[in-house]
Amino acid sequence: MWPVYGHNTAVHLLQRTLPSPLADNSSQRGFGGPRHAYLLVGAQGIGKSTLAQVYAQALLCTEPSDRPCGVCRSCRLIRSGNHPDFRLVAPVDREGAVDRSAGLLRVEQAATIIRDSILSPLEGRYKIFLLQDMQQANESFANKLLKTLEEPPAHVILLLTATERTQLLPTIVSRCQVIEMQPIAPTVIEQALGQHWQAEPKQAQLLARLAGGRLGWAVTQLHNAKFDAERQEQLEALWRLAAANRIQRLAFSEQTAAKGSQPQLFNMLELWTTWWRDVLLAQANCIDACSNIDLREEIARQAAHLSQETVQKYIQTLKRIEGYLHHTTNTRMALDVLLLQLPRIV
């Protein structure tokens, strides 16, 4: 049993590629053994890197059966981040510090991968590279990596992660086996938070509902001491804005745009989208299916003041503006539209 919650289809697919302990690398490549490159696609925090690392652990595990065993030297080295044949490559800032929110995969990193891939493994049968957040690769990185993807040495396996395949060069995608990571059921996330991370029952249930199928997101928020306060602050700001006039709404837009924090902005938009979906669920007499289960009374109150058509249109506006913000630098204009179209509740 792999230490992965949910994603059973992806796990079974990868388990079937584990080579026989007696087979050499070249004899099984393309014949039921591991492919030279995999692209794991799914939302941020859904578990792409976790699954990729467990797969690498299984490929390098020295136990003849039940791989990964979790106790052999190879498994322990990967878990501690010190295996000489496993390399994690993440986006970095200009100074070279890891920054997965705003950093880039840079051409210097691709050059290092190419250089290291030529060398034979030191301990295992493979040399494995986990490339996180390929959607944040600059064009030079992607183009330089293509050579290794086209003609990889027999001992090299590349594991790529990305939020969407459309954000990558088609030439990159075509050289990988794509594995789509599906959202995990809230019940599975709730159980995992309670059993593995010792979350309180009410906290586990709330985070599982808010997670949108992303166990990694839920675990991050479980350990975020500021999560409850920040969530309450953002929701109260939304409620105030729903009763505010145009001048107050535009002032909030100006202040938010001036902060210049894209991760914080997208977190706010995600929370707002979840809130309005809950309002829509309440209007459809499905309030028990809402995500903000601790705020049912406020959800019901707002649902009674608006039409379903109004809420549906604003949810569409939220998704459209979020898409614009991923591709435009004019944050202020996008937020102005979002705030001016916010449904009014007095």
CATH number at residue 285: 1.20.272.10
CATH number at residue 49: 3.40.50.300
What pLDDT digit, counting tens, does each position of 216-235 carry?
A: 999 999 999 999 999 999 99
Q: What pLDDT was estimated at residue 173?
A: 95
14 and 160 co-located in one domain:
yes
Strand-pair partners of 104: 92
Are the C-beta atoms of residues 6 and 188 closer than 8 Å to each other? yes
291 and 214 co-located in one domain:
no
Q: Does residue 1 belong to any structural domain of this protein?
A: no
What's the mean pLDDT when you consider all of the chain? 92
**Euclidean distance between CA atoms 307 and 107, whole angstroms:** 51
127 and 19 co-located in one domain:
yes
Q: Does residue 3 belong to any structural domain of this protein?
A: no
**Euclidean distance between CA atoms 78 and 249, whole angstroms:** 50
CA-to-CA dists, residue 305 to 238, 298, 299, 339, angstroms: 15, 11, 10, 18
Residue 301 pLDDT > 80? yes
What pLDDT digit, counting tens, does each position of 96-155 carry?
A: 888 887 789 999 999 999 999 999 999 999 999 999 999 999 889 999 999 889 888 999
- Domain endpoint, select from 146, 180, 214: 180
277 and 192 co-located in one domain:
no
Q: What pLDDT was estimated at residue 29?
A: 53
CA 340, chain centre distance (Å): 30
220 and 230 co-located in one domain:
no
275 and 149 co-located in one domain:
no
132 and 166 co-located in one domain:
yes
What percent of the chain shows pLDDT beyond 90? 82
Q: What pLDDT was estimated at residue 65?
A: 81
Q: Does residue 345 belong to any structural domain of this protein?
A: no
Domain count, the chain: 3
Average pLDDT of 90-96?
Answer: 89
**Among candidates 82, 78, 88, 175, which has minimal Cα distance to 131?**
88
CA-to-CA dists, residue 294 to 6, 177, 227, 288, angstroms: 25, 41, 14, 11
Residue 342 pLDDT > 80? yes
Confidence of residue 27 (pLDDT cuts 50, 70, 90): very low
251 and 199 co-located in one domain:
no
**Among candidates 158, 145, 136, which has minimal Cα distance to 90?**
136
Q: What pLDDT was estimated at residue 188?
A: 96
| Tokens 């109260």, residue located | 236
Q: Does residue 196 belong to any structural domain of this protein?
A: yes
Q: What pLDDT was estimated at residue 9?
A: 95
- Domain endpoint, select from 180, 213, 246: 180
Q: Of the given ranges (167-181, 290-304, 322-336), which has the lowest mean pLDDT?
A: 322-336
Confidence of residue 11 (pLDDT cuts 50, 70, 90): very high
Residue 6 pLDDT > 50? yes
308 Cβ contact partners less than 8 Å away, ≥ 6 residues apart: 280, 283, 284
Residue 194, class by beta-carbon neighbours within 10 Å (0-12 exposed, 13-18 middle, 19+ buried)?
Answer: middle
**Torsions phi, psi of 45, nearest 5?**
90, 5
**Among candidates 261, 277, 290, which has minimal Cα distance to 319?**
277
Q: What pLDDT was estimated at residue 261?
A: 74
**Euclidean distance between CA atoms 40 and 135, whole angstroms:** 12
Q: Of the given ranges (39-53, 197-211, 285-299, 313-327), which has the lowest mean pLDDT?
A: 313-327
Opening angle at CA 277, ends 275 and 281, nearest 5 = 115
Q: What pLDDT was estimated at residue 21?
A: 64
Q: What pLDDT was estimated at residue 95?
A: 85
Confidence of residue 23 (pLDDT cuts 50, 70, 90): low
Strand-pair partners of 178: 39
Q: Does residue 329 belong to any structural domain of this protein?
A: yes
CA 313, chain centre distance (Å): 27
Residue 271 pLDDT > 60? yes
Average pLDDT of 48-53?
Answer: 97
290: containing domain: 226-340
Q: Does residue 346 belong to any structural domain of this protein?
A: no
Confidence of residue 24 (pLDDT cuts 50, 70, 90): low
CA-to-CA dists, residue 9 to 44, 55, 160, 182, 330, angstroms: 19, 14, 18, 9, 40
166 and 38 co-located in one domain:
yes
The whole-model pTM stands at 0.89
Are the C-beta atoms of residues 157 and 37 closer than 8 Å to each other? yes
**Among candidates 221, 216, 214, which has minimal Cα distance to 183?**
214
172 and 211 co-located in one domain:
no
116 and 243 co-located in one domain:
no
**Euclidean distance between CA atoms 340 and 253, whole angstroms:** 10
Residue 260 pLDDT > 70? yes
What pLDDT digit, counting tens, does each position of 197-213 carry?
A: 999 999 999 999 999 99
208 and 312 co-located in one domain:
no
Q: Does residue 325 belong to any structural domain of this protein?
A: yes
Average pLDDT of 24-53?
Answer: 83
Amino acid at residue number 111: A
